[in-house]
Copies of this chain bind each other. A is one copy, B any other.
Amino acid sequence: MTTFPPAVQPGDSIAAIDTPALLVDLDRLEHNLAGMAAFAAARGIRLRPHGKTHKCVAIARRQVALGAVGLCCQKVGEAEAFVAGGIADVLVTNEVVDPAKLRRLARLTARARIGVCIDDPVGVERLAAAAGEAARDIDAYLEFDVGAGRCGVERVDEALRLIDAIVAAKRLRFTGIHAYHGNAQHLRTPAERHHAIDAAVAKLGELVAALARRGVPAGIVTGAGTGTFPFESASGAYAEIQPGSYVFMDRDYGDNVWPVETPRFEPSLFVLTSVMSRRSRWAVVDAGHKAHAVDSGMPVVAGRPELAYDRPSDEHGMIVARDGEPLPALDERLWLIPGHCDPTVNLWDWLIGVRAGRVESIWPIEARGALG
């Protein structure tokens, strides 16, 4: 409910920013955005970046300006924020079965092309009912579970029946197959990730072949994340990739080993924090659970390998120094690279863009807390 922006202006020194604060290094952000756009252009693959990571219209617009076909998101509330921000093509890479949510989704078709995933016959019926009120047909994607073990149809025969139902439904356009392998993104070595995507592609191939035997085109096969997109892109099976985290990166992605031939993304997202208590054997900073997410492990202190962030509590984090190195002083500011970027961004209402030591932009995170 912090509806007022941070009390800094473009041009102010970073030293003027109250802590804790969520910062994006604009040089690195632009490097990451350009790197993925160039990769997609060179491979001739559609890029539909995932907006669940940044939830921020300013970044979504930059992605589209660099050639993205549209955005992905996970929630109807996120789709509303992106459409309100002028994004003309939004795919909800998730199941939506609540009729009230589907009516909201249908209303968005007045301003944008809208897609959504389906993994249940009830989803087809309800989406078709909502689409009856829509300004244009809704893009329906069959979600196929290629290894993530979360949503999505698990068997080919079940997938074929659902696709038949989608094709038969009025006002729905069977647009393609959503096949995202979430569990593969943080397998640490490229070989492990490649192996997981090979298995996904093999399973996907069975469905596509079965569809071909019936004369039904598979449409746009879409999926892939920041950890695996080179493999889906090279597979020939995917027409579109959906990476999200590449814009910011985080400690967890930093722990991956990367293939040499892919773009080098740099951590661009930081929680700026201050030492607010300096004890004899540790320092205490003003960023804890309410400032960054630890579901994927601890943050690291950027540029300070001798320091470790440890023992977070709700509003505090403990900084310890390794090997007898000195602790940071009272007031000293540290730049934390969060353990996990997506849920960290969701804690903040504003993202402060910095470059060359100064504040350059203050962007609202429009879809923060858009959970429904």
Q: How far is B367's CA from A151's CA once the two chains are assembled, in angstroms?
A: 35
Number of copies: 2
Verify if A291 is at the interface (C-beta below 8 Å from B).
yes
State which of B276, B295, B368 has its C-beta within 8 Å of the C-beta of A1.
B368
Q: Closest residue of chain B to A20, judged by CB?
A: B371
CB contact list, A45-77 vs B, under 8 A:
52, 74-75, 77
Given the known A-B contacts A95-B276, A96-B276, are A364 and B1 also in contact in the complex, defined by CB atoms under 8 Å?
Answer: yes
Q: How far is B372's CA from A347's CA once the two chains are assembled, in angstroms?
A: 13
User: Does the CB pair A74–B372 fall under 8 Å?
Assistant: no
User: Does the CB pair B74–A314 fall under 8 Å?
Assistant: yes
Given the known A-B contacts A52-B315, A289-B343, are A1 and B369 also in contact in the complex, defined by CB atoms under 8 Å?
Answer: yes
Verify if A293 is at the interface (C-beta below 8 Å from B).
yes
Instruction: Classify chain A's interface size.
Output: 35 or more
Give chain B residues whose Cβ lies under 8 Å from the Cβ of A287.
371
Verify if A105 is at the interface (C-beta below 8 Å from B).
no
- Shortest CB-to-CB span from A158 to chain B, Å, is 10
- Residues of A whose CB lies within 8 Å of any CB of B are 1-3, 18-21, 52, 74-75, 77, 94-98, 100-101, 119-120, 122, 145, 149-152, 154, 182, 274, 276-280, 282, 284, 286-287, 289-291, 293-295, 311-316, 318, 330-331, 340, 342-343, 346-349, 364-372
